[in-house]
Amino acid sequence: MKYISTRGSAPALDFEQVTLAGLAGDGGLYLPESWPTFSADDIRALAGLSYVDTAVRVMAPFVAGSLSEAELRVLCEAAYGRFSHKAVTPLVQLDHRQWLLELFHGPTLAFKDVALQLLGLLFEKFLARREDRITIVGATSGDTGSAAIDAVAGRDKIDIFMLHPYGRVSDVQRRQMTTVLAPNVHNIAIDGSFDDAQALVKAMFNDADFRARHNLSAVNSINWARLMAQVVYYFYAAVRLGAPEREVAFSVPTGNFGDVFAGYVASKMGLPVARLIVATNVNDILHRALADGDYSQGTVIPTATPSMDIQVSSNFERLLFDVGGRDGLALAEQMRGFEASKAMRLTNAQQEGASRLFTSHRVDADGMNLALRWAYEAAGQVIDPHSAVGLAAALAADDLPADVPVVTLATAHGAKFRDAVERATGVRPSMPARVGSLFDREEAYTRLPATYEAITAHIAGLATARQ
């Protein structure tokens, strides 16, 4: 399998290279040269398989040439063996048509673990082959950071520098990152938003000297391997609900467009997806883009769903590339315009292409609270605020055929956002034992201004020299 850049001029890479590279050299994001497809029989054959068996079948075409199926299986068994639920990503029924897909049974209680537990092992395997080391630079609005740190802490060929927006993540999210005191883990709190952090990370990748000197790699969803691992649970859930005989809709609380893009990939591979509902909070750039073609960056408004307080959605570029005819040079021009003016209009082809599968819904604080209460009172489920944004959008999708089940992706455990859950439901979710005593541990992080000079000087001073 070869991967090409959305901006048309970086060299095509294989899976191993693309996993270590992160962002493409031309500033674009990597995607498979063509989508592997599963026939109805292939999908039928997934019925009754374990999560690991499903993962191996779904991901095998993407890793071909870099990993054998046996190697992939060993990594999946290790990654998903750390989840606390036997089904890894269990489905929970809420009513006759609404379902939750629980993605928070990993070590750090958010869906990020599904991909990052595997990515940590992929890094280790590929670095051992090359006898090389990497410096990971990442941006987090709360969940990617802790999941990535858990996945790579203590690995001796990796340094990780994780940027989070100071004061804009929950106390649990922050402590899950800053109480990991392994020597290769470096937390940086920037005076800015997640978008600032993400822009700084992309600038480091686009600085050829800095990138080469530190051998940068990515753990954000700019890294293709992240999305690949997330495609698996769409198959796993849909097959359990009757695919390929029955179509399934998914409602996805969305920020950086990675999770819902994985659903798009599943659909391109042949999974019968009736609809992908993009659920945003009031930071609604994706809702405006999908509803009106207006992709213009607003100011980030802090909300009770901090992980979705994002106004520039990295992976949207992958969708625009695929539905817009895969013209990398034209997209590069369009993205340069966006980077300069912070606004762009989708082309007609991009809008029409996206509207075939996607709808969107903007959920404000009242809508989120109502969904939290509905889940608790009508179905006895204490969910987290991000999942509640997804559920609110799912409940509003009343134009879907009656026989289509709607699956909301439950992206985090309520305990990560205890205050918001308690305010809405009166129930304070307790912390699962696997997280340990976060509040007794020492914290370590460095607070820095959100400037390129300050961040790169800090990283250059601490990153272990390449051997």
Ligand X SMILES: Cc1ncc(COP(=O)(O)O)c(C=O)c1O
Ligand Y SMILES: N[C@@H](CCOP(=O)(O)O)C(=O)O
Interface ranges with ligand X (CB under 6 A): 110, 143, 221, 253-260, 307-308, 386, 411-412
To the nearest whole angstrom, how small is the minimum distance from the Cβ of residue 79 to ligand Y? 17
To the nearest whole angstrom, how small is the minimum distance from the Cβ of residue 158 to ligand Y? 17
Closer residue to ligand X (CB): 169 or 463 = 169
Closer residue to ligand X (CB): 184 or 198 = 198
Which of ligand Y, ligand X, none has residue 5 at its interface (CB below 5 to 8 Å by kind)? none
To the nearest whole angstrom, how small is the minimum distance from the Cβ of residue 254 to ligand X? 4
Integer angstrom CA distances of residue 245 from 50, 233, 242: 20, 18, 6
Which one of the listed residues 112, 157, 202, 416 is annotated catalytic?
Answer: 112
Structure tokens at 111: 């869906």
Residues of the shown chain interacting with ligand Y in the complex, contacts defined by CB under 6 A? 140-145, 220-221, 255-256, 258, 307, 314
Which of ligand Y, ligand X, none has residue 386 at its interface (CB below 5 to 8 Å by kind)? ligand X
Which of these, 200, 259, 224, 285, lies nearest to 386 by C-alpha position? Answer: 259
Closer residue to ligand X (CB): 135 or 170 = 170
Which of ligand X, ligand Y, none has residue 411 at its interface (CB below 5 to 8 Å by kind)? ligand X
Please say if 2 is a catalytic residue. Answer: no
Structure tokens at 438: 């976060």
To the nearest whole angstrom, how small is the minimum distance from the Cβ of residue 275 to ligand X? 16
Give counts: helices (H), strands (E), the chain.
19, 15
Cα-based torsion angle of the residue sequence 52, 48, 35, 26 in order, rounded to the nearest 10 degrees = -30
Pairing between β-strand 294-296 and β-strand 343-345 as defined by DSSP bridges: antiparallel
Cα-based torsion angle of the residue sequence 160, 163, 168, 172 in order, rounded to the nearest 10 degrees = 10
Which of these, 401, 404, 411, lies nearest to 98 by C-alpha position? Answer: 404
To the nearest whole angstrom, how small is the minimum distance from the Cβ of residue 263 to ligand X? 10
Strands (E), 166-267: 185-191, 216-217, 248-253
Closer residue to ligand X (CB): 66 or 305 = 305
Distance between CA atoms of residues 144 and 19, nearest Å:
16
**Dihedral pair phi/psi, residue 136, rounded to 5°:** -90, 130
CB 216, CB 208: distance < 8 Å: no
The single-letter code of the amino acid at 60 is A
In total, the chain counts a number of residues equal to: 467
Which of ligand Y, ligand X, none has residue 304 at its interface (CB below 5 to 8 Å by kind)? none
Closer residue to ligand X (CB): 60 or 438 = 438
CB 454, CB 448: distance < 8 Å: yes
**Dihedral pair phi/psi, residue 111, rounded to 5°:** -65, -15
To the nearest whole angstrom, how small is the minimum distance from the Cβ of residue 30 to ligand X? 17
Integer angstrom CA distances of residue 396 from 227, 368, 379: 27, 12, 17
The SS3 assignment for 21 reads helix
Closer residue to ligand X (CB): 127 or 286 = 286
Which of these, 31, 211, 28, lies nearest to 134 by C-alpha position? Answer: 211
To the nearest whole angstrom, how small is the minimum distance from the Cβ of residue 229 to ligand X? 12
The SS3 assignment for 323 reads helix
Which of ligand X, ligand Y, none has residue 140 at its interface (CB below 5 to 8 Å by kind)? ligand Y
To the nearest whole angstrom, how small is the minimum distance from the Cβ of residue 144 to ligand Y? 3
Closer residue to ligand Y (CB): 220 or 281 = 220
Distance between CA atoms of residues 195 and 140, nearest Å:
9
Residue reference for tokens 């109502």: 370
Pairing between β-strand 216-217 and β-strand 294-296 as defined by DSSP bridges: unpaired
Closer residue to ligand X (CB): 244 or 263 = 263
Which of ligand Y, ligand X, none has residue 192 at its interface (CB below 5 to 8 Å by kind)? none
Which of ligand X, ligand Y, none has residue 254 at its interface (CB below 5 to 8 Å by kind)? ligand X
Active-site residue set: 112
